[in-house]
């Protein structure tokens, strides 16, 4: 077994012959991210991203999160349009751009061999790939966090003001991509606090770096002071099953793969007790990078509101891969090759399962079904707590100009939308009972049983069609299993 301290760590600049591997992995990331990119319909968060992005500065900040992503996405959409491909492509590009950063972080910390394994682990992680194909800001978070980690490692090697500034900018902006990126700063502060207490140029550089990150992120946290927990009220309290599921989800799915990755990370953790001061420091940074965000989120969940969702901590996932890759390089060559082949097989299977088994709400198909069946004079009764994806596909296909104005029963717990009217659900049903259109199309979701028809029940014959899609592992463990069901009922007047 080769100790990490003797893996040939190399801080020299990258040479041309070494660029082949990160370039290959980057191209693989582009290929995997672009493969079947528009195969699945947009779900509610992705459609909401389009709305926030095109809504201007006030909309970017309205969500209290991902403001930077909405701003960048808004500029992108104004140039390339708002198709599914245009919405999701920035996440693919961020995923690909994160690969060389992952390589450089691993190379500085533990050497070229670990860098090659870590970049491969990064590209083949089905969990990261899932969010590389979503119109959300999670891959932007990974990109900024890796950039900040790289700047910090370079800063520790050669304290320079420009590196402090780069670190502060990267980690400060990461908080605007997702709030929980701030935990990475906390991890770095906890590990490097003893160095900050010592004098010398390193102390000044670190304090400048941490202060810059705090200064840039301060306006965001000042704005959060007026926010409530309503936006996370849907999250269930963490339990033992949720905690056990985290490494399974972060590893890319599959219990066997999670056991392999966790076993490797445990081997990696032994370097915390090495006599090599440099190796011990880099190990501490990786371990804190993974565990501090998790511990901080659990504390926040206990003190404020439940907030433990795997994707919220996506900025810490590269640390798990980096530690596993470093441990893999400690093993005898034959054992390392066997584990690497096992990892490849399991990762390919998990990526295949993500594309074939795990689905999103099939709003594209739902709108197409309505478009093929609706006739002039038909009424629309929409009972959707989160109507953004429905609105997206209707407007993308310009169906709003041909369809009748929809009726929107109001629910007190629904997020406000421009389409909602200040009327009760019973009032909408009574109005339709007076008008008696020939047919009513009722669309509902997030519920197994469609809402009752009230006064329409005695006047209409009901035909039901369901569009059902299975949720991913996070839905099954942290949310309702019926979250992806869309029910379309055709009500024909008797």
pLDDT band at 11 (very low <50, low <70, confident <90, very high): low
Q: Residue 386 contacts by C-beta under 8 Å, 6 or more apart in sequence?
A: 44, 48, 414, 415, 446
- Check residue 10 and give its pLDDT: 56
pLDDT band at 410 (very low <50, low <70, confident <90, very high): low
Mean pLDDT (whole number) for 365-372: 92
pLDDT band at 479 (very low <50, low <70, confident <90, very high): very low
Radius of gyration of the chain (CA): 25
Range with the poorest average pLDDT among 120-129, 159-168, 399-408: 399-408
Rounded to 5 degrees, φ, ψ at 493 are -65, 135
Q: What does each C-alpha distance from 346 to 130, 165, 473 come to in angstroms? A: 16, 40, 16
Average pLDDT of the chain is 88
pLDDT band at 239 (very low <50, low <70, confident <90, very high): confident
- Check residue 423 and give its pLDDT: 66
As to burial, measured by CB atoms within 10 angstroms (0-12 exposed, 13-18 middle, 19+ buried), residue 229 is exposed
- CA contacts within 13 A on the Cβ side of 165: 3
Ramachandran region, residue 382 (left: φ > 0; alpha: ψ -120 to 50; beta: rest): beta
Mean pLDDT (whole number) for 86-108: 97
Closest by CA position to 137, among listed 254, 25, 45:
45
Q: What is the pLDDT of residues 187-226, one digit of tens each?
A: 999 999 998 888 777 899 999 999 999 999 999 988 888 7
Contact 209, 168 (CB under 8 A): yes
Cα-based angle 307, 312, 316 (whole degrees, multiple of 5): 120
Mean pLDDT (whole number) for 321-336: 96
DSSP H or E stretch at residue 277: helix 277-303
Q: Is the pLDDT of residue 471 over 60?
A: no
Q: Is the pLDDT of residue 307 over 80?
A: yes
Beta strands in 291-438 (DSSP E): 379-383
Domain residue ranges in the chain: 4-356, 363-493
pLDDT band at 453 (very low <50, low <70, confident <90, very high): confident
Q: Is the pLDDT of residue 12 over 80?
A: no
The more confident residue out of 234 and 421 is: 234
- Written as six digits, the tokens of 141 are 């978070």
Place of tokens 């299975």: 470
Rounded to 5 degrees, φ, ψ at 369 are -65, -45
pLDDT band at 477 (very low <50, low <70, confident <90, very high): very low
User: Following DSSP, what letter does each residue of 158-185 receive, concatenated?
Assistant: S--HHHHHHHHHHHHHHHHH-GGGHHHH
- Written as six digits, the tokens of 405 are 């104005």
Q: What is the pLDDT of residues 147-183, one digit of tens each?
A: 999 999 999 999 999 999 999 999 999 999 999 999 9
Q: Is the pLDDT of residue 413 over 60?
A: no
- Check residue 393 and give its pLDDT: 94
- Check residue 18 and give its pLDDT: 86
> Looking at the DSSP assignment, which residues form a beta bridge with residue 493?
460
The top-scoring range by mean pLDDT among 188-192, 362-366, 478-482 is 188-192
Q: What is the pLDDT of residues 132-152, one digit of tens each?
A: 999 999 999 999 999 999 999
Q: What is the pLDDT of residues 249-289, one digit of tens each?
A: 999 988 999 999 999 999 999 999 999 999 999 999 999 99
Contact 147, 134 (CB under 8 A): no
Gap between the Cα atoms of 227 and 176, Å rounded: 15
The top-scoring range by mean pLDDT among 300-309, 322-331, 365-374 is 322-331
Gap between the Cα atoms of 362 and 396, Å rounded: 15
- Check residue 446 and give its pLDDT: 66
Mean pLDDT (whole number) for 467-494: 65
- Check residue 224 and give its pLDDT: 85
Q: Is the C-alpha dihedral spanning 230, 234, 236, 238 positive or negative?
A: negative
């Amino acid at each position: 077994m080769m100790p990490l301290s003797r893996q040939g760590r190399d801080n020299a600049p990258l040479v041309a012959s070494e660029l082949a591997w990160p370039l290959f992995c980057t191209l693989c990331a582009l290929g995997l991210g672009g493969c079947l990119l528009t195969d699945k319909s947009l779900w509610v968060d992705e459609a909401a991203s389009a709305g926030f992005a095109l809504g201007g500065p006030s909309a970017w900040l309205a969500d209290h999160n991902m403001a930077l992503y909405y701003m960048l996405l808004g500029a992108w959409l104004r140039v390339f349009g708002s198709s599914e491909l245009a919405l999701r492509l920035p996440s693919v590009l961020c995923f690909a751009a994160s690969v060389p950063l992952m390589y450089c972080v691993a190379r500085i910390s533990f050497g070229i061999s670990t860098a090659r394994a870590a970049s491969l682990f990064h590209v083949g992680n089905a969990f990261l790939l899932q969010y590389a194909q979503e119109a959300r800001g999670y891959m932007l978070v990974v990109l900024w966090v890796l950039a900040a980690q790289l700047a910090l490692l370079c800063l520790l090697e050669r304290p320079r003001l420009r590196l402090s500034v780069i670190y502060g900018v990267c980690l400060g902006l990461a908080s605007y991509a997702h709030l929980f990126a701030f935990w990475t700063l906390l991890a770095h502060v906890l590990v490097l606090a003893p160095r900050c207490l010592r004098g010398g140029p390193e102390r000044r550089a670190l304090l400048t770096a941490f202060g810059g990150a705090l200064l840039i992120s301060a306006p965001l946290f000042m704005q959060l002071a007026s926010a409530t927990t309503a936006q996370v009220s849907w999250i269930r309290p963490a339990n033992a099953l949720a905690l056990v599921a985290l490494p399974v989800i972060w590893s890319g799915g599959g219990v066997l793969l999670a056991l392999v990755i966790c076993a490797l990370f445990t081997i990696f953790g032994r370097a915390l007790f090495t006599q090599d001061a440099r190796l011990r420091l880099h190990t501490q940074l990786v371990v804190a990078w993974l565990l501090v965000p998790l511990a901080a989120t659990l504390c926040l969940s206990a003190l404020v509101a439940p907030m433990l969702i795997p994707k919220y901590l996506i900025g810490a996932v590269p640390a798990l891969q980096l530690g596993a890759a470093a441990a893999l390089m400690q093993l005898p060559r034959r054992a390392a090759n066997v584990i690497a082949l096992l990892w490849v097989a399991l990762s390919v299977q998990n990526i295949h399962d993500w594309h074939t088994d795990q689905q999103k709400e099939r709003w594209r198909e739902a709108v197409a079904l309505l478009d093929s069946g609706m006739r002039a004079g038909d009424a629309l009764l929409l009972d959707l707590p989160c109507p953004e994806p429905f609105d997206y596909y209707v407007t993308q296909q310009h169906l709003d100009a041909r369809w009748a104005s929809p009726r929107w029963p109001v629910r007190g717990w629904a997020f406000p939308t421009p389409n909602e009217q200040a009327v009760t659900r019973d009032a909408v049903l009574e109005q339709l009972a007076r008008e008696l259109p020939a047919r009513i199309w009722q669309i509902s979701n997030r519920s197994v049983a469609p809402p009752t028809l009230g006064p329409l029940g005695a006047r209409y014959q009901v035909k039901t069609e369901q569009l059902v899609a299975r949720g991913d592992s996070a839905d099954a463990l942290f949310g309702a299993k019926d979250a992806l069901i869309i029910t379309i009922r055709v009500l024909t007047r008797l």
